[in-house]
Structure 1
């Protein structure tokens, strides 16, 4: 009986000790610290700088208390209100940017609010933006995206939309569709950059232009290498896209493919790029490019060999045939069994890629890449909020033009 009583007393005492620690932490972090006051509203203007410096432990406990911003479309659509309330920058921020317009291809299928945050981050009135909305997205989602795009002369929806399958040809075709639209644009864009809805910029528009012009001498950027043996399964066999009960997937047939057309050497690299307008025209018109596109229809993830292969042709416009993984297109944290994991993922992994959390932000802003991937608003809203506040401050600090009040993000 004495032993049983002693055990019960010990358990009870331990419970109260733990409870006391929890209450103390609550008082320290949520009552005494001004960052955590006001309950449902975190003061990110104070919290984010500490996080970027790697000193945001207090902020980490309370950063989820602010709800994500929502994007509302009212009927009739009030475009002036959308531009003002969502803080779109409405004039160019330097003469250098005005004279070097960029084109963007953005493929999206979910998280409308994350798309709006990405779009307003990279938006500049001298640029042009082609938005490819996945055909399988809901009608309401498509309607809202189109309503937003219709508020701007330089944003449009792709004239042809694909039912995109992960790893399938449809992903490559989506980019091709936008390229066909962009070459007919009245905007005299110099380079095209492709993005997905879970990207977010690190370099500003001005810094991207500097990077392309100085580091790359205005040429194409397609990181990659000659296709290694362990990646040949992607192009040695025939793959098919399948949609079943609304679920899209790709599967391999036990059937070998023919050799690449026109004796082309296949390379393997990033699906993301920065390409000159002349190269895009080449892609759409050159016989080798057309043949490779047709041959790639039943390969796995053809967007990871198509651009890099064509950019290794020595007679292609803006070609960079001798580079390997140089390019710094994306900052990505891979799962440890896939690639360099650096200091680990502070968010969570999806398909072996880190969805960034607050603890990853210090690492992100130290990277030389143009963009970071990937972000999810519903899963890591505080990380997105801090990232876009840091980015908007960076943009406005670089300009000598008059800053309009609505360009500042609400804190």
Structure 2
């Protein structure tokens, strides 16, 4: 025996060594599985995304299990959902933490695309209002509600609309979310509206910096100009929503009166970045409410409502001399082919390009806040690759320790996540 005369001391020494070894092994086993989380991949790594990944030629594997099946095949566990679906759960910089954003997302289809959009833009300091179309199926609504319930800063709009393309209901959907966001305790600085077929190009950090740069620091972004003659038909005759499906003129005899308060009507995009004081103005001002009521039977009122109000003097954050400034969306319009872009590599739908894989170099080079539009049903590879590229950029810019579960892909060789900045080959 090693210590026959000191049995008690020997036992205590051995116990101490065993305890230390147990603690060491437990810590390192735990660390190993934290550093190398079990892959729950539901799809192979798309080889066509290799040009978007940091190390050219390195074998990769997807770690992503986000899909509709995740919610339909089992009951989601909220305590694990952020980790399993690779949501970023901490502010990535002090800049972002001190400038929280609000998002309004209106959706009616492409459920998985919406979930990927939310994951791409999610940050715990921000707040997200989701407006689900009143025509959506109960299963669709249930899945969105399940996902939202797992995050304290994500919620469904209190009031839902049956949205018609180019109808008043589309404008009302945004306003319903604004009512909810105005009551939020999160001190958001600006609100950005999205649809379910958008996807981010800028990181959250880039959004924060862009929205605070000149001339947007404290200013609303509503690209548009005074209503041109070809667009005046939208507000000169009355329109109505037909079966929550499409807009139709009531007839030539149903003409509209002049805008309230002698307002000059402007024409612009339906997308914006608005300050919180401006949102408060919209919700309380008599001028804003009168314009809203006048716009009820116009065509696509969201394309004149925001930009018209933003051109009024003495309105919070107004941009009275603004025109088409504001890099809000990368969109390939069919009538701009040959001027602003070299054609749609995917497919035109309603004269807007649904992006294919070959459109992504143009999208990323343009570096707008967001790109529109995407459809996984038509071109899933475009979403897959842009998502991988965007997440690599987000993590590469972070000022904090990156958690392993925040990565969407891993290297098969090292079984570790790689963090070099992503690149895109080619030009559109």
Q: TM > 0.5 between the two?
A: yes
User: For 1:250, which of 243, 247, 252 is the aligned residue?
Assistant: 247
Q: Is the 8 A contact 1:68 1:377 kept in 2?
A: no
CA shift, 1:48, in A, is 2.5
Q: Is the 8 A contact 1:68 1:381 kept in 2?
A: no
C-alpha distance 274-197 of structure 1, shift in aligned 2 (>3 A): same
> Structure 2: any 5+ residue segments left out of the alignment?
1-41, 58-63, 411-428
Partner of 2:70: 72
* 1:81 aligned partner: 80
Q: Is the 8 A contact 1:51 1:362 kept in 2?
A: no
* Aligned mates of 1:262, 1:41 — CA distance in 2: 57
1:4-403 alignment, distance < 5 Å? 43-44=45-46, 47-50=48-51, 69-73=67-71, 76-215=75-214, 216-243=216-243, 248-254=245-251, 255-336=254-335, 340=339, 342-403=341-402
Tell whether the 8 Å contact from 1:71 to 1:113 is kept in structure 2 after alignment. no
SS in 1 for 2:79: helix
**Structure 2: distance between partners of 1:91 and 1:300:** 42
1:72, CA displacement in angstroms? 1.9
How big is the shift at 1:377?
Answer: 1.1
With over 3 angstroms needed to count, the CA separation of the structure-2 counterparts of 1:211 and 1:302, relative to structure 1, is same
Whichever of the two has the greater Rg, that structure is 2
Distance 2:336 2:209 in 1: 35
* Partner SS state of residue 336, structure 1: helix
Per-residue CA deviations over 1:141-173 (Å, capped at 9, x if unaligned) read 000000100001000000000000001000000
Aligned to 2:60: none
- CA separation of 1:340/1:42 partners in 2, compared to 1, >3 Å: closer, same or farther? farther
Specify whether residues 389 and 195 from structure 1 end up closer, same or farther in structure 2 by C-alpha distance, changes over 3 A only: same
> Take 2:262 and 2:338, find their aligned partners in 1: how far apart are those partners?
31
Deviation at 1:242, TM superposition (A): 1.4
Which consecutive unaligned segments of at least 5 residues does structure 1 have? 1-39, 57-65
Q: Give the whole-Å Cα distance in 2 for the aligned partners of 1:115 and 1:277.
A: 25
Scaled by the length of structure 2, what TM-score is found?
Answer: 0.80
Instruction: Judge conservation of contact 1:167–1:300 (CA < 8 Å) in 2.
Output: yes
Q: TM-score, normalised by structure 1?
A: 0.83
Matched length: 358
- Contact 1:71/1:112 (CA < 8 Å) preserved in 2? no
Q: Check 1:381–1:402 CA distance in 2 against 1; reply closer, same or farther (3 A cut).
A: same
Shift, 1:343, TM fit: 1.1
Q: Distance in 1 between matches of 2:356 and 2:341?
A: 14
Describe the SS at the equivalent of 1:300.
coil
Question: Relative contact order (alpha carbons < 8 A, sep ≥ 6): 1 or 2 greater?
Answer: 2
CA spacing shift, 1:320–1:230, aligned 2, 3 Å: same
> Bigger shift: 209-218 or 298-307?
209-218
| Equivalent position of 2:38 in the other structure | none
CA distance in 1, matches of 2:167, 2:364: 32
Distance 1:368 1:322 in 2: 24
User: SS where residue 212 of structure 2 aligns?
Assistant: helix
- Contact between 1:261 and 1:291, CA under 8 Å: does it hold in 2? yes
Contact 1:225 1:268 in 2 (8 A): yes
**Cα distance in structure 1, aligned partners of 2:109 and 2:152:** 24
Distance apart, 1:298 and its partner CA:
0.2
Write the deviation string for residues 224-254 of structure 1: whole angstroms up to 9, x where unpaired.
00000000000000000111xxx61110012
Partner residue in 1 for 2:14: none
User: How big is each residue's C-alpha offset from its partner over 1:295-327, in whole Å with a ceiling of 9 and x where there is no partner?
Assistant: 000000000000000000011000111010010
- Check conservation: 1:192, 1:276, Cα contact below 8 A: yes
- Structure-2 separation of matches of 1:83 and 1:195: 22
How far apart are residue 41 of structure 1 and its match? 6.6
- Call closer, same or farther: CA 1:358–1:51 in 2, change over 3 Å: farther
Report the CA distance shift for 1:79/1:287 in structure 2 as closer, same or farther (over 3 A): same
- Partner residue of 2:423? none
Name the CA shift for 1:51/1:343 in 2 (closer, same or farther; >3 Å): farther
Secondary structure of 2:287 counterpart: helix
In structure 2, distance between residues paired with 1:184 and 1:378: 37
